[in-house]
Amino acid sequence: MEYIDNILFAVLLLVGIVLFAKNIGKIRRNILLGREIDLSNDKPLRWKTMLRVALGQSKMVTRPIPAILHLFVYVGFVIINIEVIEILIDGVAGTHRVLSFLGPLYTFLIATFEVLALLVFAGCVVFLLRRNVIKLKRFMSKDLDGWPRSDANFILITELFLMSAFLIMNAVDINLQGLGYGHYEKLSEAAFPISSLMSGMFNGMSPETLEFIERFTWWFHIVGIIAFLNYLPYSKHLHILLAFPNTYYSNLENKGKFSNLDSVTVEVKAMLDPSFTSPPPPETPMRFGAKDVQDLTWKQLMDSYSCTECGRCTSSCPANITGKLLSPRKIVMSVRDRLEEVGKNIDANNGTFTDDGKSLLGDYITPEEIWACTSCNACVQECPVNIDPLGVIVDIRRYLVMEQSASPTELNMMMTNIENNGAPWQFSPADRLNWATEN
């Protein structure tokens, strides 16, 4: 029975890692349902983009206040979890503060963790106030109704509890050190700049009570982190992990440059060059554009899992600002929701997708949303992790035009004019220079 805690900890850790790996495997499977696209070019620029945008958060600074708060939470939460290394060793080996032999370096690290924990706590409080008291417009949109809004609040509250547990654990530890109780070895007071201010709350408690609180908060902290890790695959906070590969595989072309469809390129070459030999047709007929998530590229599907739901794209969208139905954030979230539904369908049918009579277009995204887009790329410019909502919109438009002939009347008139007159307007080419002869 002496090692029951260590065995329990090891089992909990193993189960947590296995579950996380299983869920990440499903997400990887879902992403790879998308069409192949080659994004292996210009690796130096891709690394530079990832370091600048994902690690350096260069696109966050356009809004300084949330950028600073996010930096507190991002840097604090990541660095504080370095302490998890010590917790893992202590949990498996049954030791206590096993890395304290590092001396001054350990003092510096714990002190840094405590300051960052306080900054994380402050940042989360402000973010909760912005969402639930100040109620910023981009957090009140109806596309966040239900689970997305609850998810954001749940994560922020969880981080508050985790930071509180960490600081309380240290505060109680200080009292136990002062009492010379058990294995609680005396450490430098400089290691606890924040928790030392809290330790007075626990004066007068018995050593046994203090030890119970210290053990409870220790377990709460590590179990909370393992639970948080396994919650990530179900949360928008998966961007903590996917922001890095997503920015690495960013579109390096100039914004607004449309991609060519291979199938269309082949047809044009065949018409213009009689000597051109068309490649053999694919076994599965190629779809023009995208109707469902399987028609999108794997990068577009990765975009959907990388979305932070911050709403910067939607708040900058001129169509949305003028009251139209389009929300770039909702477009990306709809791709993820449909992809999750397809993934569950595959799981339920022994690894094979069975037609469920649904599709991304129609059941999740309406033509009205798609045609409201002005193709201005404001959403692409604003996204802090280089998501491209416009790419999804353009691919669905291609499907509507090229397979359904379902483009708006105004667009049909324009294309007819281009075909007949060589210009978007209803004027004969012979009359094009009449303006120059008018008095």
Domain limits, the chain = 4-31+63-239, 262-421
Neighbours of 1 (CB within 10 A): 5
The H-assigned helical ranges of 81-206 are 83-93, 104-132, 147-179, 195-198
The pLDDT profile of the chain, 439 residues, written as one tens digit per residue, is 457 888 888 899 999 999 999 999 999 999 999 999 999 999 999 999 999 999 898 999 888 888 898 888 888 877 877 888 888 888 888 888 888 888 899 899 999 999 999 999 999 999 999 999 999 888 988 888 888 999 999 999 999 999 999 999 999 999 888 888 888 888 888 889 999 999 889 988 898 999 899 999 999 988 998 998 899 999 988 998 999 999 999 999 888 788 887 777 887 888 888 888 877 777 777 788 899 999 999 999 999 999 999 999 999 999 999 999 999 999 999 999 999 999 999 999 988 999 999 999 999 999 999 999 999 999 999 999 999 999 999 999 999 998 888 888 888 888 888 888 888 888 888 887 887 876 5
Taking the C-alpha atoms of residue 173 and residue 221, their distance in angstroms, rounded to an integer, is 14
Fold of 262-421: Fumarate Reductase Iron-sulfur Protein; Chain B, domain 2 (1.10.1060)
* pLDDT value of position 439: 57
DSSP string, 24-54: HHHHHHHHTTSBP----S-HHHHHHHIIIII
Contact 326, 319 (CB under 8 A): yes
Q: 35 has which bridge partners? A: 297
Confirm if 386 and 302 have CB atoms less than 8 A apart: no
Tokens, residue 420: 């007949």
For residue 374, the model assigns a pLDDT of: 92
The hierarchical CATH code for the domain 4-31+63-239 is 1.20.950
pLDDT at 1: 47
Which residue in the block uniquely carries the two structure tokens 């120059």? 436
CA proximity to 83, closest of 48, 51, 109:
109
Distance, CA of 343 to CA of 338 (rounded, Å) = 9
Cα dihedral 316→298→336→156 (10° resolution): -70
The helix/strand/coil state of 365 is strand
Give how far the C-alpha of residue 114 lies from the chain's centroid of Cα atoms, to the nearest Å: 27
Q: The pTM is what?
A: 0.88
Q: Which amino acid, residue 189?
A: E
